[in-house]
Amino acid sequence: MPPPAAYLDGCTLAPDRFGSVSHKDICTAHDRDYWMKRRFTDKWAADFVWAVRIVARHSSNGGWVLAALALAVLGWLALTTVGWWFWLRRARWGNA
């Protein structure tokens, strides 16, 4: 069962873009991974892949490279600690 549209909110608590370069699709893919993949290793992999994709997307985005690197590092730390709340959120949507 796919996640409800409201679950796919892009970059929760973070900007969806830096300058003219959007990374909302990366965040939406991460949301889908959280919804569909239910093992601990899947969650960790989704968090890691999210961070790598953010850095890769902005690797040639001028002055936004450092902001993207900061988002990737701080975001990965937040996702691996506080992200459990969102990962477990699927059960709160009544689709456990």
What is the pLDDT confidence band of residue 84, given thresholds at 50, 70 and 90?
Answer: confident
pLDDT, position 24: 97
pLDDT tens column, 39-79: 889 889 999 999 999 999 999 999 999 999 999 999 999 98
Number of domains in the chain: 1
Tell me, yes or no, whether 2 lies in a domain. no
pTM: 0.85
Quote the CA–CA distance of 38 and 21 in Å, as a whole number. Answer: 30
Tell me, yes or no, whether 10 lies in a domain. no
Quote the CA–CA distance of 19 and 15 in Å, as a whole number. Answer: 10
Q: Vertex 80, ends 74 and 81: CA angle to 5°?
A: 90
pLDDT tens column, 2-34: 888 888 889 988 999 999 999 999 999 999 988
- Which residue range(s) make up the domain with 44? 23-92
Tell me, yes or no, whether 75 lies in a domain. yes
Tokens of 7: 């679950």
